[in-house]
């Protein structure tokens, strides 16, 4: 409840103040989900989640019936109080731009619900989102809303999120709240602001020297790139990071990099872009180039976090003979790949060596897939089309042709898990034929070029 307001007594508009009644013990919805909800016992936590979904559905239905539209309805602008009865009470924050009018029709309701749903689509289960919609539809006193409108809301939210993520990713091209420009001599680039200054200065002074440090652990060396694991000192102790150097392969490449994104810049942008989309990939920490003639980006360097206790997917699958564990890995990877495609991300080099299993070194059954080597990643405001999805699934499928224990049955289970992970698609046979055809084409292409299939 507003109690008082004030503004500075000046000629030009300045600061203003609003005093309201304290709504404690209500807390922002984000704080409740991240801090208080995990403290409930598992059975009670599931009940609270269901009550939150239904309660929020009724609350938004009441707002829309009374013509109230919040133009910035993210979860942080919702307060929730959870009494012992576990029936939540909701309130709005940041109401200076709230609009009042007649009850909202379907179009206006959908537009407002999309803004709410963007946050929940990544954090709430499909079942809880449907509970919200079911309660919202039943509670609305004005307008006609069908059960099938839930699917329309989900698709519209996905499209809205993809546009939002594209804008968020573009911020990593320059400086902002979490990223700063860095420079030392002819080495220039970007780094996250929480990277230790001393470590970063040493790295920028001579990036190539980092690969010969006593603590450097070589991971890969080939004509195009070199990769090593380093120890980065932090206030809480040393932390493992990975430094990748991408060599200049032709004299004209620095000139090309002046007008396009280099390999390390693409990996930097798409690494942050995948993390914005809640897709598993190591956090990029820094990206920089040696410059020729002061302006031409030449040899590039990318510093990322190391995936903890990880094993490469090919090594893990090759060594594993437990069918149950293989199926768990396949289902988790299928969900990641489907989420990637639904969120507008195409990985054009989606082969098994570009997937790590986090935690596989300590507990294989709980290992989760992580995407690495993002040079071939592209993002769009549209979902990845069918033909591109099939080619990427085929590239992944080709990685396991030499492993007889990965049977056709296991591959079919992977495909079915992929199709069921998003909006359900029942025509699995057309997908199977498309992936099989693309796999055969990939094998034939590699045979003609004499390249092994990774």
Q: What is the pLDDT of residues 202-219, one digit of tens each?
A: 999 999 999 999 889 999
pLDDT at 298 over 70: yes
Q: What is the pLDDT of residue 73?
A: 84
Q: Which residue has the tokens 């307060």?
A: 79
Closest CA to 243 of 217, 214, 273: 217
Whether 17 is in a domain gets the answer no
Among 3-7, 284-288, 311-315, the range scoring the smallest mean pLDDT is 3-7
- Give dist(CA 66, CA 104) in Å, integer: 8
Domain final position from 171, 186, 218:
171
Residues 82 and 221 in one domain: no
Is 253 in the same domain as 285? yes
CATH code at 383?
1.10.510.10
Average of per-residue pLDDT across 188-202: 94
Domain boundary among 129, 144, 171: 171
79 belongs to a structural domain: yes
Q: pLDDT at residue 76 above 90?
A: no
Tokens of 431: 């997908």
The pLDDT tens digits of the residues spanning 158-175 come to 999 999 999 999 999 999
pLDDT of residue 418: 95
Rounded-to-integer distance, Cα 113 and Cα 149, Å: 12
The predicted structure's pLDDT at residue 241 = 95
> Domain residues for 162?
24-171
Task: Report the pLDDT averaged over residues 413-434.
Answer: 88
Q: Is residue 27's pLDDT more than 90?
A: no
pLDDT tens-digit profile of 222-231? 888 899 999 9
Angle, helix 149-170 to helix 126-139, in steps of 10 degrees:
120
268: tokens are: 């930097």
pLDDT computed for residue 353 by the predictor: 93
pLDDT at 424 > cutoff 70:
no
Report which of 305, 303, 281, 311 is spatially closest to residue 211, judged by C-alpha positions: 303
**Percentage of residues in the chain with pLDDT exceeding 90?**
64
452 pLDDT higher than 90: no
Does 200 have pLDDT greater than 90? Answer: yes
- d(CA 256, CA 302) in angstroms, rounded, equals 19
Q: How confident is the model at residue 437 (pLDDT cuts 50, 70, 90)?
A: very high
pLDDT at residue 232 is higher than 90:
yes
pLDDT at 1: 66
Q: Give the residue-averaged pLDDT of 354-383.
A: 93
Q: What is the mean pLDDT of residues 111-117?
A: 92
Structure tokens at 304: 């990322």
Total structural domains within the chain: 3
pLDDT digits (tens, 9 = 90+) for 119-167: 999 989 889 999 999 999 999 988 777 777 888 899 999 999 999 999 9
335 shares a domain with 294:
no
117 and 230 assigned to the same domain: no
Res. 96: pLDDT tops 90? no
Q: Is the pTM of this model over 0.75?
A: yes
Average pLDDT over residues 385-407: 93
């Amino acid at each position: 409840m507003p109690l008082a307001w004030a503004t500075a007594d000046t000629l030009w508009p300045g600061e203003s103040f609003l005093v309201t009644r304290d709504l404690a013990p209500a807390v922002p919805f984000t704080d409740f989900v991240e801090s208080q909800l995990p403290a409930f016992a598992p059975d009670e936590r599931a009940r609270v989640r269901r009550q939150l979904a239904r309660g929020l559905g009724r609350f938004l239905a009441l707002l829309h019936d009374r013509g109230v539209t919040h133009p910035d309805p993210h979860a942080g602008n919702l307060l929730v109080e959870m009494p012992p009865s576990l029936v939540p009470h909701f309130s709005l924050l940041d109401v200076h731009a709230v609009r009042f009018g007649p009850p909202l029709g379907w179009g206006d309701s959908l537009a407002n619900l999309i803004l709410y749903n963007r946050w929940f689509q990544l954090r709430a289960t499909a079942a809880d989102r449907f509970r919200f919609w079911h309660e919202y539809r039943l509670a609305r006193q004005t307008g006609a809303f069908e059960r099938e409108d839930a699917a329309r809301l989900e698709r519209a939210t996905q499209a809205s999120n993809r546009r939002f993520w594209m804008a968020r990713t573009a911020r990593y091209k320059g400086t902002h709240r979490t990223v700063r420009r860095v420079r030392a001599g002819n080495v220039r680039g970007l780094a996250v602001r929480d990277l230790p200054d001393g470590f970063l200065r040493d790295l920028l002074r001579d990036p190539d020297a980092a690969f010969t440090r006593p603590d450097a652990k070589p991971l890969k060396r080939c004509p195009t790139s070199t990769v090593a694991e380093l120890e980065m000192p932090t206030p809480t102790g040393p932390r493992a990071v990975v430094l990748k150097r991408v060599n200049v392969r032709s004299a004209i490449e620095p000139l090309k990099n002046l007008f396009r994104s280099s390999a390390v810049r693409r990996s930097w942008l798409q690494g942050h872009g995948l993390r914005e989309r809640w897709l598993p990939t190591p956090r990029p920490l820094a990206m920089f180039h040696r410059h020729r003639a002061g302006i031409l980006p030449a040899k590039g360097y990318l510093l990322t976090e190391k995936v903890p206790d990880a094993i490469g997917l090919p090594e893990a699958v090759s060594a594993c003979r437990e069918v149950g564990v293989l199926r768990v890995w396949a289902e988790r990877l299928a969900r990641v790949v489907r989420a990637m495609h639904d969120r507008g991300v195409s990985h054009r080099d989606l082969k098994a060596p570009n997937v790590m299993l986090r935690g596989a070194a300590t507990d294989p059954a709980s290992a989760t897939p992580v995407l690495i080597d993002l040079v071939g990643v592209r993002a769009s405001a549209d979902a990845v089309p069918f033909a591109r999805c099939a080619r990427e699934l085929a590239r992944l499928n080709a990685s396991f042709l030499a492993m007889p224990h990965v049977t056709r049955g296991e591959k079919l289970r992977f495909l079915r898990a992929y199709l069921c992970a998003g909006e359900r698609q029942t025509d699995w046979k057309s997908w199977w034929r498309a992936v099989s055809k693309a796999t055969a084409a990939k094998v034939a292409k590699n045979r003609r070029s004499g390249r092994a299939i990774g």
